[in-house]
Structure 1
Amino acid sequence: MGRLGISLYPEHSTFEKDKAYLDLAHKYGYTRVFTSLLQINGDQEAVVANFKKIVQYAKSLDFKVMVDMNPSLFKQLGVTYDDLSFFDDLGAWGLRLDEGFTGMEEARMTRNPYGIKIEVNMSNGTRYLENILSFAPDKQNLLGCHNFYPQEYTGLGEEFFTKCSELFRQHNINTAAFVSSKVAGFGPWPIQDGLPTIEDDRHLPIATQVQHLLLTGLIDDVLIGNAYASEEELRAASETFFGRYPVLHADFVDDLTTNEKLVALGKPHLYRGDASDYLLRDTMPRVWYKDKEIPAHHAKADFKRGDIIVVNDDYSRYKGELQIALKAFPNDGRRNVVGHLTDDDLFLLDYIKPWSTFELK
């Protein structure tokens, strides 16, 4: 199973604040930390000592700490690609390479004696991965992670994200990507536009962002890019990430009946396999609730994509069936509109496939 993670930026915070954030994330099942050591200004020993303190505390809570690095920092620290003992002493689980090397260095680093993971950039769309693989790395220690994008409108498009991710999937390499908190105040740079991987996720609720990445089937680990996410966001992301089934959020009518609530929210839904262009259908509720009355109401307006529908008593054989409109069609009165997918989650309908199970909330 994949890991859920947070990000820390010790140079912009304090040990006490980072410690409290780690404690809170640990409570909700988070097990990864992304942190940055891209530049050391001032007293190098003091900076490294402070950095090590928070890394060691995270490690004590069983977090896997990934440290972002670039070639110039290797030189500044006096670290060579054949000796990663500095990072072992630091307590790092792995190194994320902010900039690419030649491929040979990445492969050599995966064969370190400490088992330190080497995580490479997935957001390039080149033959970078194939180049690394040509130097025979230890694939158990090779991971991939997408970039995050602080500047609005610069995040990855869906097609490019998919293309890059599939390269890593083909080689069974662990993948990661970032989602963004709406309340977090900072990242590695003083920009407040969020830190997602996919641009269209930038302003969505965090649970929807997490669900999106999971439904692509291309991402193992999900990381919150900016700090600090609220406890509500940490909980929502955790519930989504560790949930048994994908969740679609919907707004329901105020006068939803008890029986309609049973149909829509009582159990997870199975998307019937013989798919229609017009309707996603779950036919099991009409079996479970066949003796329940479902009078016609909210059955006049024509259907639009994202409408949550319960078939009413006037369509006797199909009474109680749960449906979601996939595109517009007329309403003849035999189906009740009981709600609508939220605007934020509507696009997730494209990812729910026939024979898959999901929940409505």
Structure 2
Amino acid sequence: MFGFSIFLNEGLTNERKSYIEEMSQHGFSGIFTSLHIPEDDVDQYRKRLTDLGSVAKKCHLELMVDISGEALERAGFSFDRVDELLEVGVTGLRMDYHISNQQIAKLSRQMPIALNASTITEMDIQELQKADANFKHLEAWHNYYPRPETALDKKWYHEKNLWLKSYDFTIQGFVPGDEKLRGPLFKGLPTLEEHRGTHPLVAALDLLADTDKVYIGDSGLSKEVLEQFSFYIKEETLKLRVEAFNKQIKYVLGDHINRQDEARDVIRSAEARFKKIPNVEPLPAKDRNVGAVTIDNMNYLRYMGEIQVIKRNLPADEKVNVVGQVIEKDQALIQHIRAGQKFILESVEK
């Protein structure tokens, strides 16, 4: 499952409503927001959350709200009136700090509750069990980290998730956006430090190895990256954008599937044999660097027409024509094209 973030520091403009609808149409199924309220905005937050809930319901999106301490009451809601939250479109609450395990257990019997995945301990689990929490309604959500160098270590994240999985928690993590990064630092909102500045879909695919829900921490994705997410969510297909080097690029563009017998050095299109390709004349040999898109020419005899994307730097070969190059931003996606993975090669302007 994929989700995205909408922050309540401003009202829900028509532009933001359109963004929510667009994300829904592209396959995203959840919204994350926060009720950490600045002192001067208390009166605004009830309306903003109600407006957001209304759009979420209209788009059939889950709405998880991050709360702490008295934030809920300051916004005009209450733990004792959960039905009001459900009515406005809130589908879950993420508990931050200053909320007891006894209160969490009580709420878990009424609606989905997300715990802080990074800080929950064995003692918390025992207290929740003793308080008769509904563990089917409990999830484990990690934080995002605006300040560089403070996000989580990947090895620690994996070990923590293994422990959380032993209690059957659904696990969530954040990846950065690539547009409209959140201020005041504008350095992305990842859960893992190594994902800061990374292509959002690459980071998401990395998290999916041991994470059930992946949310975009920042407030925006570029149009191109949103389309890449959409292809992956709806069709389980990775789109790679390619700069064309010559006219032979027309032979390689379109839909492909990596062969089941996964090669070490290259991605081999299983679809190449089904394409109607004429005799491929040799071109001047070029080094095949990571991301090079190639087609075997007539010098490769029965292999003529084989289409590859290069995974590691290889030398020039007079039997192989380099016809394009995956753009730098998309090159990290190549390592996620495993055996049987569908992918698309799409031409872009240089």
Both structures adopt the same fold (TM-score exceeding 0.5): yes
Q: How does 1:150-229 map to 2 (within 5 A)?
A: 150-169=146-165, 172-184=168-180, 186=182, 190-204=184-198, 208-214=199-205, 216-227=208-219, 229=220
Residue 289 to residue 49, structure 1, CA distance change in 2 (3 Å): closer
Secondary structure, in 3 states, of the residue corresponding to 2:57? Answer: helix
- Are 1:169 and 1:218, in contact at CA under 8 Å, matched by a contact in 2? no
How far does residue 80 in structure 1 lie from its aligned partner after superposition? Answer: 7.8
The answer for the alignment partner of 2:281 in structure 1 is: 295
Residues in 1 aligned to 2:214 and 2:49: alpha-carbon distance in whole angstroms: 23
The answer for the alignment partner of 1:335 in structure 2 is: 320
Residues in 2 aligned to 1:101 and 1:312: alpha-carbon distance in whole angstroms: 66
How far does residue 237 in structure 1 lie from its aligned partner after superposition? Answer: 5.5
**Residues paired across the two proteins, number:** 343
How far does residue 149 in structure 1 lie from its aligned partner after superposition? Answer: 1.4
How far does residue 35 in structure 1 lie from its aligned partner after superposition? Answer: 1.1
The answer for the alignment partner of 1:13 in structure 2 is: 10
Residues in 2 aligned to 1:231 and 1:341: alpha-carbon distance in whole angstroms: 18
1:121 matched to 2:107? The reply is no
The answer for the alignment partner of 2:266 in structure 1 is: 279
How far does residue 64 in structure 1 lie from its aligned partner after superposition? Answer: 1.6
Residues in 1 aligned to 2:296 and 2:96: alpha-carbon distance in whole angstroms: 53
The alignment yields a C-alpha RMSD, in angstroms, of 3.5
Secondary structure, in 3 states, of the residue corresponding to 1:214? Answer: helix
How far does residue 98 in structure 1 lie from its aligned partner after superposition? Answer: 2.3
Residues in 1 aligned to 2:218 and 2:156: alpha-carbon distance in whole angstroms: 23
Identity of aligned residues (%): 22
Amino acid of the residue matched to residue 280 of structure 2?
I
- Are 1:210 and 1:222, in contact at CA under 8 Å, matched by a contact in 2? no
Residues in 1 aligned to 2:228 and 2:128: alpha-carbon distance in whole angstroms: 33
Secondary structure, in 3 states, of the residue corresponding to 1:181? Answer: coil
How far does residue 50 in structure 1 lie from its aligned partner after superposition? Answer: 4.2
Residues in 2 aligned to 1:21 and 1:150: alpha-carbon distance in whole angstroms: 22
Residues in 1 aligned to 2:80 and 2:123: alpha-carbon distance in whole angstroms: 21
> Unpaired segments of 5 or more residues in structure 1?
none
Select between 175-184 and 36-45 the one with higher mean Cα deviation. 36-45
Residue 338 to residue 158, structure 1, CA distance change in 2 (3 Å): farther
- Are 1:272 and 1:282, in contact at CA under 8 Å, matched by a contact in 2? no
How far does residue 193 in structure 1 lie from its aligned partner after superposition? Answer: 2.0
Secondary structure, in 3 states, of the residue corresponding to 1:197? Answer: coil
How far does residue 94 in structure 1 lie from its aligned partner after superposition? Answer: 0.2
Q: How does 1:201-280 map to 2 (within 5 A)?
A: 201-204=195-198, 208-214=199-205, 216-227=208-219, 229=220, 232=223, 235-236=226-227, 238-257=229-248, 260-262=249-251, 264-273=252-261, 275-280=262-267
- Are 1:240 and 1:247, in contact at CA under 8 Å, matched by a contact in 2? yes
- Are 1:144 and 1:168, in contact at CA under 8 Å, matched by a contact in 2? yes
Secondary structure, in 3 states, of the residue corresponding to 2:147? Answer: coil
- Are 1:25 and 1:234, in contact at CA under 8 Å, matched by a contact in 2? no
Instruction: Specify which of 24, 32, 35 is matched with residue 33 of structure 2.
Output: 35
1:335-360 Cα offsets, whole Å, 9 max, x none, are: 11222333333333333333433333
Residues in 2 aligned to 1:38 and 1:203: alpha-carbon distance in whole angstroms: 26
Residue 104 to residue 214, structure 1, CA distance change in 2 (3 Å): farther
1:320 matched to 2:299? The reply is no
The answer for the alignment partner of 1:71 in structure 2 is: 69
Using the size of structure 1 for normalisation, the TM-score is: 0.78
Residue 325 to residue 294, structure 1, CA distance change in 2 (3 Å): same
The answer for the alignment partner of 2:49 in structure 1 is: 51
How far does residue 96 in structure 1 lie from its aligned partner after superposition? Answer: 1.0
Secondary structure, in 3 states, of the residue corresponding to 1:56? Answer: helix
Residues in 1 aligned to 2:298 and 2:213: alpha-carbon distance in whole angstroms: 45
Residue 167 to residue 346, structure 1, CA distance change in 2 (3 Å): farther
- Are 1:249 and 1:360, in contact at CA under 8 Å, matched by a contact in 2? yes
Residue 102 to residue 360, structure 1, CA distance change in 2 (3 Å): farther
Residues in 2 aligned to 1:16 and 1:77: alpha-carbon distance in whole angstroms: 20
The answer for the alignment partner of 2:345 in structure 1 is: 360
Select between 97-106 and 350-359 the one with higher mean Cα deviation. 97-106
How far does residue 33 in structure 1 lie from its aligned partner after superposition? Answer: 1.5
- Are 2:228 and 2:239, in contact at CA under 8 Å, matched by a contact in 1? no
Residues in 1 aligned to 2:333 and 2:126: alpha-carbon distance in whole angstroms: 35
How far does residue 24 in structure 1 lie from its aligned partner after superposition? Answer: 4.1
Residues in 2 aligned to 1:247 and 1:61: alpha-carbon distance in whole angstroms: 25
Residues in 2 aligned to 1:100 and 1:315: alpha-carbon distance in whole angstroms: 68
Amino acid of the residue matched to residue 351 of structure 1?
H
